A and B are shown apart, each in its own frame.
Chain A
Amino acid sequence: MAGLIAGRLALGLVTLWLVSAIIFLGVEALPGDACTAILERDAHGAALETCRKALGLETPALERYLSWAAGVARGDFGLSAHGQQDIAGLVGYRMRNSFLLAAGALAVGIPLAIALGVVAGLTRDRWPDLLFSTGAILAMTIPDFVAATVLILVFAIWLGWVPAIVLTPADAPPLEFFPEFILASTVLAMLMVAHVMRMVRASVIEAMSSDYVQMATLKGVPYRQVVLRHALPNALLPAINVIALTVAWLLGGVVVVEVVFNYPGLGRLLVDAISGRDLPVVQAITMIVAASYVAVNLVADLLGLLLNPRLRSYRARQR
């Protein structure tokens, strides 16, 4: 078991290392560097040289990669190209805000998705299932910015229930985001609920048609017991990994949703950085998102191993 966990951890670290290398090489490959971005039109002659020296751009790429990677590992992302601000400070509150948004979506979304999925799976091909499944397909196909725009139109403009956009500054205490953040979290939750619900529905259907459930039914175990004791524990295990995958989606979807709602999170910072071609900031945010993704998947894998003894022995035997 300990070896298994160590293996997973090592795999996660390798993935992160590859991501960091890809990002660094990608930025390295482009014409121009941090100095041409900082100096813009004045980027020639002596000014360019002094700037390169000041930022240490004259050292070989490998050395710079190593020092950058060492900084990232300590949580030090260096300075932004525009304004020379400390990126770690720039990112801090915004990261918290993005996690708040994602946490809100997860806290409501996961229980809802599991409940809907179980109901849909138990009433397969009858009206609750048809209703939920059609809704899920709609939620999955409609782009997030379209859903966000429609929600703003209906709930903020026509009904006037909630504010349309967030005007709270990035470093405000969490509770101040409250009424504004509902719509943004709802949009993020929609896509996630749809995916998790479909997965849960499929595995509930599979569990209910399995031999052990039939056996329990034939023995005369009451339906409630069959569902709660026999079918659900097995059906819900695979949901953990799907939830981990949708969390990754959440991290990507955050970009668009934050822009739509003017929410001061990582996603909006990223879009601003891209518009200004602020490469160090883009690098930093990309690393943070990739690290969160790897961490979430790692936790899901470990939870799966912990809750499902069969997986443990199967994987151990495979080695």
Chain B
Amino acid sequence: MSALTATRRRRAGALLRDLVARPSGAIGVALVVAHALMALFSPWLVPYDYKAMEATITLAEPSAAHWLGTDHLGRDVLTRVMLGGREALVITGIATPVAMLWGGLAGIWLGLRGGWPDEVAMRLVDAFLALPGILPLLVLITVFGTGGEVLLPTLAFFFGIPVIRVARAAAHEVVARDFVAAARARGHAPLDIVRREILPNVTDTLLVEGAMRWSWMLLGFSALSFLGFGVAPPRPDWGLMISDARVYMSLAPWGVIAPVLALSTLIIGINLTADALAGALGLDRGRKAVI
């Protein structure tokens, strides 16, 4: 067992080195790490209170006191941009692993089981995927309302559905191989087969898929915030900030540009990391299905 752990540790080290070997991967990892650090430590670093309004300096230009100016309520833009990713990162950071876990396990089980449950489940998945983009999210929000306690399970549920398909396809490839037949012949329980034969062979695919899902989930979350169905004001969030500041864009463009840059750098960072991860694990993402 200890030898296995040591191999795993060595493998993780090698993977990290492969990740940052190419400049695009290094940039991606750096962006993600920088955003994570900012989200962790920003409450102690921000110059102002994010709620503090100063009616005399609304839509002020960038200055020594307010590096990125102020918004339409006289709140410091730099403070709000620094804090604006926290809620999105926490919610998607929890919802992504949950989505990968349930979607992955369901997909593996269906791939292994086959037969009518597989057929029925795949028809249901198709039906869900016939509602494109943020539409199903919007429908659920109509039903249950907004707020983190609704958004987290909603995101985890919907982003797990396409994972079922990916995991099922990956499991299918493994199930047909000889070592699974051998394990079956040896009389291993299905759960053991999943844990020891199938999981190790599909984790790479699911890891890359998870990184991509994370960036899509962030996109979805910010779009919801932008539409007014995500983070509740006055709490800061990039999507919401862009939506608010958009109205005053001709007077105060920095109020839009700052959250736009923050959100874009995070999403580009995650995408570059996912690409580098796929390259390091020897998976070609370009050849895969787009949904």
Contacts and interface: CB of A to CB of B under 8 A. Distances in A.
A282 B263 CA distance: 29
B219 A143 contact: yes
A72 interface: no
Interface in B102-136: 123-124, 126-128, 130-135
A54 interface: no
Contact of B139 (A137, A242, A286): A286
Contact of B287 (A16, A202, A242, A271): A202
Interface in A222-281: 242, 245-246, 248-249, 251-253, 255-256, 259-260, 270-271, 273-275, 277, 279
Nearest to B266: A141
Contacts of A138: 268
A180 B53 CA distance: 36
B116 to A, nearest CB: 15
Contacts of A15: 123, 126-127, 130
A95 to B, nearest CB: 15
B50 interface: no
A135 B38 CA distance: 28
Given A143-B222, A143-B223, A274-B229, A27 B130 contact: no
Given A26-B143, A153-B249, A141 B264 contact: yes
Nearest to A279: B142
A16 B264 CA distance: 36
B132 A22 contact: no
Contacts of B226: 143, 145, 256, 259
B127 A18 contact: yes
B176 interface: no
A302 interface: no
B239 A145 contact: yes
Contacts of A260: 246
Nearest to B141: A274
A93 interface: no
Nearest to A281: B142
A-side interface mostly: helix
Interface string B251-262: 001001100100
A195 interface: yes
A256 B223 contact: yes
Interface residues of A, number: 54
A183 to B, nearest CB: 13
A150 interface: yes
B250 interface: yes
Nearest to A195: B290
Contact of A274 (B133, B142, B219, B249): B142
Nearest to A278: B142
Given A145-B242, A270-B138, A19 B249 contact: no
B144 interface: yes
A290 B129 CA distance: 9
Contacts of B222: 143, 145
Contact of B131 (A140, A246, A259, A286): A286
Contacts of B253: 153, 157
B139, B140, B256 interface centre (most CB from chain A within 10 Å): B139
Interface in A139-175: 140-146, 149-150, 152-153, 157
A255 B286 contact: no
Nearest to A23: B139
Given A251-B132, A286-B135, A153 B142 contact: no
B227 interface: yes
12 contacts: A18-B123, A18-B127, A26-B140, A140-B271, A143-B267, A145-B222, A202-B286, A242-B290, A245-B291, A271-B227, A275-B228, A289-B135
Q: Which 4 A-B pairs have the closest CB atoms?
A: A252-B133, A18-B127, A252-B132, A248-B132
Given A252-B135, A270-B135, 11 more contacts: A15-B130, A29-B143, A30-B144, A142-B264, A144-B223, A195-B290, A249-B133, A255-B227, A256-B227, A286-B139, A294-B130
